[in-house]
Amino acid sequence: MIVTVTLNAAIDKTYHLPALAAGQVSRVDRVYAEPGGKGINVARVVALQGVPVLATGFAGGSNGDFIERGLTRQGIVHDFVKIEGESRICLNIMDQDGVSTELLEPGPTIAGQEMEAMRQKLALLAARAKVVAFSGSLPAGVPKSFYAELIEIAQRQGAVVFLDTSGEALLRGAEAKPYFIKPNEDEVAQWLGHSIEDENALKQGLLRLNETGIPCISVSMGAQGSLAAFHGVCYRVHAPKVEAVNAVGCGDAYVAGMAIGTAQGLPVEECLRLATASGTANALTARAGYVEPEDVKRLLGEVVVERIG
Ligand code: TA6
């Protein structure tokens, strides 16, 4: 089983409208409202590919109820820590040219006993999991070291741990040496303490990070694919060219593909291929964190994984 952890779960609302004009009334043509937040997106993309998954995290208030009901309706097993506060709404406003504007609420404030309930729940769930994937921002009240704490709990239970977050939550979380991380180029530069001029410098930087005890690192290059350093070997992954409909959630779908490949013990190249095909398939749908399994299967053959030393 794959377990996903979303500490700042959300209702992801996507508004499709002709054009967003600041200071004016804009009428929305189509609205999608889905359980979201990065880890929940990962869970949905895993489930859509027929792989057993459980979504956990914090959920509260009527938005939390919506998230849980939505997951049940989508056939995704879930077990959240119920909190006093209200889970957030994240808005993605898409205009007819495909330009996306995201408005992400900060989310609720988590109390000390709610964090303790999360530690205990995670210990039980991680004991049944092959992969535990932590994704997304930390809600208020949660210390920046919380991911590191949870990662250590999951690792003690024998799970392989993924961490997809950003900023200080990533830097602190990485101290617990997760198996897989997905930083952006700026975060890698911050880590290394110097700027990165070109792809070769990025490659050298990722290999140095491998040496610090994080075996698998992918840096997204958007529609161009990704650069990855896995166990001291670098790969340039070329994504298939597609007509993107909605790029929100592509990174989460990438993590989902990587989690499936890792849980199934696939070779590194195949994990990267599945991750990239899943991420690209997400871009083909209007919904965030969603893929058509046939798209993933078709795109798998179009991903090029190049070993670059
Ligand atoms: O990756 C897209 C997305 O997952 C949206 O679904 C939205 O919920 C948001 O990211 C949340 O990101 P955050 O980093 O604030 O947890």
Domains and CATH numbers, the chain: 2-307 (3.40.1190.20)
**Helices 293-300 and 268-283: crossing angle, nearest 10°?**
130
CA triple 163-262-295, angle to 5 deg: 95
Q: What is the mean pLDDT of residues 162-185?
A: 95
User: What is the ipTM for the molecules in this complex?
Assistant: 0.97
Residue 268 has pLDDT above 90, yes or no: yes
Residue 223 has pLDDT above 90, yes or no: no
pLDDT of residue 256: 98
Indicate the length of the chain as a whole number: 309
Residue 249 has pLDDT above 90, yes or no: yes
Task: Report d(CA 264, CA 247) in Å as an integer.
Answer: 27
Task: Report d(CA 145, CA 120) in Å as an integer.
Answer: 17
Share of the chain above pLDDT 70, in %: 100
Q: What is the mean pLDDT of residues 276-288?
A: 94
pLDDT of residue 281: 97
38 ligand 1 Cβ < 6 A: yes
Residue 121 has pLDDT above 90, yes or no: yes
109-to-67, 91, 140, 141, 165 alpha-carbon distances in Å: 18, 20, 5, 5, 18
248 ligand 1 Cβ < 6 A: yes
Q: In this predicted structure, which of 168-172, 185-189, 249-253, 288-292 has the lowest mean pLDDT?
A: 185-189
41 ligand 1 Cβ < 6 A: yes
Contact between 154 and 32 under an 8 Å Cβ cutoff? The reply is: no
Task: Report d(CA 25, CA 12) in Å as an integer.
Answer: 22
pLDDT of residue 222: 86
If one compares 186 and 60, the residue with the highest pLDDT of the two is: 60
Share of the chain above pLDDT 90, in %: 88
How far is the centre of ligand 1, averaged over its atoms, from the C-alpha of 170 (Å)?
A: 15
Q: What is the DSSP string of the chain?
A: -EEEEETT-EEEEEEE-S---TTS----SEEEEEEESHHHHHHHHHHHTT--EEEEEEEEHHHHHHHHHHHHHTT-EE-PEEESSPPEEEEEEE-TT--EEEEE---PBPPHHHHHHHHHHHHHHHTT-SEEEEESPPPBTS-TTHHHHHHHHHHHTT-EEEEE--HHHHHHHGGG--SEE---HHHHHHHHTS---SHHHHHHHHHHHHHTT--EEEEE-GGG-EEEEETTEEEEEEPPP---S--TTHHHHHHHHHHHHHHTT--HHHHHHHHHHHHHHHHTSSSTT---HHHHHHHHTT-EEEE--
pLDDT of residue 291: 97
7 ligand 1 Cβ < 6 A: no
**Quick one: which atom of ligand 1 is closest to the CA of 40?**
4
pLDDT of residue 309: 73
Average pLDDT over the chain, rounded to an integer: 95
Nearest-CA residue for atom 2 of ligand 1 = 249
How far is the centre of ligand 1, averaged over its atoms, from the C-alpha of 41 (Å)?
A: 9
How far is the centre of ligand 1, averaged over its atoms, from the C-alpha of 202 (Å)?
A: 25
How far is the centre of ligand 1, averaged over its atoms, from the C-alpha of 136 (Å)?
A: 6
137 ligand 1 Cβ < 6 A: yes
Q: What is the mean pLDDT of residues 87-103?
A: 93
pLDDT of residue 261: 98
Q: What is the mean pLDDT of residues 29-53?
A: 96
pLDDT of residue 192: 85
